[in-house]
Structures are given as structure tokens and as C-alpha cells.
Structure 1
């Protein structure tokens, strides 16, 4: 049997529902006034007085197993109130000597240079997605060197995870003509001509400087 650490109006009303009683019948069952039960409905976040907490404890402890089971089911969050998982994107920062790999994305009447990236499905490893999406977009094979961290992207609002990768093999080419306009190896010294420095995640700049 679960132990209720603290009662509030919502839990008290859930217990009433579990007993399948009206407010009047529940008040009579507990030995309290109907007004008290009505207050629990009106103020679901309010905590009852200590003596009321004890009364509710006793009612719950003496309830039949079926009542307690219904009560516990009522306290479970419904799918509609469970927060949705945040969208996560894996972003690959691929180095080849003194060059970094970029793709030119198509937008709404705009083009922008970015690092290769792909959406992570629930349960997928960020590093695996970074490697797979880089190859799918550009034909380049890479190996993960290290994870650089994550942030909520300031423009898109998605959770962006950054992975530093080393070039292994393959000719860079645009394999996703729907999303991208072009693919290029860009000298590290010229990176901020393609992507403004203020738009680059600071740990990326630090890693590239070290490289």
C-alpha cells in the first residue's frame, strides 16, 4: 500500500472519486462537513489542516484494496498532461586538417551555412546520429572525437547537441538536394565569414582554436 506523505485538495477529491461517493456521502464517511469537502474541490492545491490530514490517512488506510487501486490510478498523470519530449538535434563539427565541413541550407527564401545536423529519435545516441547524418548529407565518413555540450538553440528553440568529429574518408558532395544547396570544406580562419561568430556555440570556437 502506498503511503501518502501529504494530502492536498486534489488528492482528497481523488479519494472521494475512488470511493465513488458524492460530496455529501464522502463528508459523512469522514465525519467532516460538506463545506470542507467543497473547499477541497475549490482549492485543489491547498493543504488540509493536520487533523484533516489524519482523517484522510485513516480513510485511505481502512479503504478496500479496490478503492486504493482506483485512487492510485487517479493520481497517475494522464498522457495529455505528460510533458512532450524536447526535440533534439545532433550537430557534427567535422575537421579535416585546418578545414571544417559546412552545408548550405535552404530556408524560406534564404540560404544559410551550417554544420551538418540531424534530428535525434527518442533513445538514439547523439554521437551515432551525428556520424550517420553527416554521411547521409555529404557522403563524408567521420569518427567522433568528443561531445562539446548542448544548448537550447537561440533561433530554433530545439535542444542542440554538438559533436566534434574527425574526417575519415569520402568526397564531400550534396546528397540532400531538398534540404541543402551546397557542401563545402571551409578554412577555419574563414569560418566566421560563413557563420557569424555570435551564432556559433562558444565551445565549438574553443575546440577549433585548439585544433
Structure 2
């Protein structure tokens, strides 16, 4: 890949990743500005605090698929490395969208979406780990942390090379964005799945 391809792949990934589905869906359906609810986060977990499960599901799907589309589009255009660069751009775009003054979501849904495009089996393993941890603990944040922490190891065995390194970096970014959640998990004050939107916020 030359420099121009790297820049284009990242910019396209960023542009797609920065589309704030949680904010758009809640506003268009009359649920208000999601940034004024719960943690103020634009992701699906906070959208669920509106009590609108359909909106939360739509947000999750949109935030995932924008990452998937970014990777597949850039892979088709310039190969697998371009797809990985787009994956990085998509997750960064979701977390730091220029349209929202760089205050976006925490990246887990878009992380899953780009992972799906890189390796659907690794994405399936992510989903299983997330589901088991969520079922056992009822903590969405812990589920995402556990599943993302395992992902680079899974990719190292299944895909190897650049993909594993990229997801190690993405995992570090996702964990950084969940630093407040980690503190609350350690303190036992983290809100659980299905808890009232007036409960302790996720961020």
C-alpha cells in the first residue's frame, strides 16, 4: 500500500465509523437526545436506558455494520491491509466523531463489526464469550472487556500477523475508553444490564 491508499482507507473508515446511529435513531423517533440520558454515551447500552429495546438493537446493528462495511469496501478497493486500516479508522471514528466534538461511543459495537469482516469465526467467539460473561455477571462492560481481551489471541492463531496486532491496539483503545467502568467494577458500583436508566452511569 502506498501513502495515499493508507490515508484514503483510514478516512473512509473514519467517516463511516463516525455516523452516530444512537443519536440519530433516538432523535428521529422522539426519544430525545441520548447525550442527556444516563451516561450521555451514544452507544447501544445507553440507548437501552431509554427503555426502547428496539432503538438499542437498531443502534447496535448500525454501529456494527458501519464497521463491517468500511472493512469490506476498502478490502475490495485495495486489499486486506486497506481493510485493516479502515477498521482502525472506523473504531476511531465511532469513539471520536468530529461531528460530536470528538465525544462518541466506547467502540465495542464497531469493534465487533470490523471483527466480523476480518474473521467471522473470531466474531462468533467474541459473541459467545460476551454472552457467557453477560449471563453470569449481568455486566455489559465486563462482557465487552473479556471478549475483546481474548480477541487478539484468537486472531493470532486463526489469522495471525497484522490482524492480531491491529486488534491488540483496538482492544487497548476499547479498554482505555472503559477505564471508568473498570474502576466501578472493582468498586462494585457498576450498573448491570437491565438496570434503571437512573442507576449508576456507565461512563
TM range (shorter): under 0.3
Q: Give the TM-score, by structure 1 length.
A: 0.24
Structure with more contact order per residue of length (Cα contacts < 8 Å, sep ≥ 6): 2
Q: Give the TM-score, by structure 2 length.
A: 0.25
Higher Rg of the two aligned structures: 1
